[in-house]
Amino acid sequence: MASRREGRGHLVVFEGPEGAGKSTQLVALSARLSAAGYDTLFTREPGGTPAGEAIRRVVLDPTLRVDPLPEFLLYSAARAQHVADVIAPALAAGRDVVCDRFTAASVAYQGYGRGLDLGFVAELNARVTGGLEADLTVLLDIDPVAGLARASGRAAHDRLEAAGLAFHRRVRSGFIAQAEADGGRRWVRIDADAAETAVTEAVWRAVSPLLAPGEVGR
């Protein structure tokens, strides 16, 4: 199959606190892109590969106690496999990739949230991705109280949701700090406390200009 564009595809990442609406918005975006003939690859972290999904079951199992450093190493192990097996090959073939969480989540959760050294988090992030960075990170921003209230409607509670409000406030501040440090070049912050359809429209405005429609090169 011919690639859709000459250069590498674009990597778009969705981030935000628990219950911000990432999964909801990714379903809506995926449906809209498929209907319009886009060949965008949707994937998620931790996971995205068989090994990554196995690691996901460990890191999100509330019955297992995992300290901050090994937790970060588990996420990083899943990410390294995901980049090598899925994300990098797709981008190299000219395909756009949309990923539910990526390196910024480790900065926010393991760095700001769990207190790991931010320089170390950044260094390991760069190692496991081979320096690959998102072309656009969509921050679905919401107060953790509102986000957790939404998320608590779910059947399963993972460790992150049980970890307490203070932790989730640090995580949110970690996402906002990254967006502000970027200065609006490769991050867009969307108010995720708005109605679902309003968020969907804001996501579309931010993301669609970056994605290549259809199978141009075929």
Ligand X SMILES: Nc1ncnc2c1ncn2[C@@H]1O[C@H](COP(=O)(O)OP(=O)(O)O)[C@@H](O)[C@H]1O
Residues 55-74 that bind Mg ion (CB under 5 A): none
Under 8 Å between Cβ of 78 and 45: yes
Under 8 Å between Cβ of 85 and 28: no
Taking CB positions, which residue lies at the least distance from ligand X?
21
Buried residues in 193-210 as b, exposed as e (16+ CB within 10 A): beeeeebbebbeebbeee
The answer to whether residue 168 forms part of the interface with Mg ion (CB under 5 A) is no
Question: Which is closer to ligand X, CB of 5 or CB of 157?
Answer: 157
Buried residues in 89-105 as b, exposed as e (16+ CB within 10 A): ebbeebbbbbbbbbbbb
Binding mask 23-62 for Mg ion (x = CB under 5 A): x---------------------------------------
The answer to whether residue 16 forms part of the interface with ligand X (CB under 6 A) is yes
The stretch near Mg ion (CB under 5 A) out of 17-25, 133-141, 163-171, 187-195 is 17-25
Question: Which is closer to Mg ion, CB of 23 or CB of 152?
Answer: 23
The answer to whether residue 155 forms part of the interface with ligand X (CB under 6 A) is no
Q: How far is the CB of 28 from ligand X (least distance, A)?
A: 9
Q: How far is the CB of 173 from ligand X (least distance, A)?
A: 17
The answer to whether residue 13 forms part of the interface with ligand X (CB under 6 A) is no
Q: How far is the CB of 40 from ligand X (least distance, A)?
A: 18
Residues 181-200 that bind ligand X (CB under 6 A): 195-196, 199
Question: Which is closer to Mg ion, CB of 97 or CB of 124?
Answer: 97
Q: Collect contacts of 190-196 with beta carbons under 8 A, ≥24 apart.
A: 190/138, 190/139, 190/140, 190/141, 191/141, 191/142, 192/16, 192/20, 192/21, 192/140, 192/141, 192/142, 192/147, 193/142, 193/143, 193/146, 196/21, 196/24, 196/28
Residue 140, helix vs strand vs coil: strand
The answer to whether residue 152 forms part of the interface with Mg ion (CB under 5 A) is no
Which residue ranges make up the site for ligand X (CB under 6 A)?
Answer: 16, 18-24, 150-151, 153, 195-196, 199
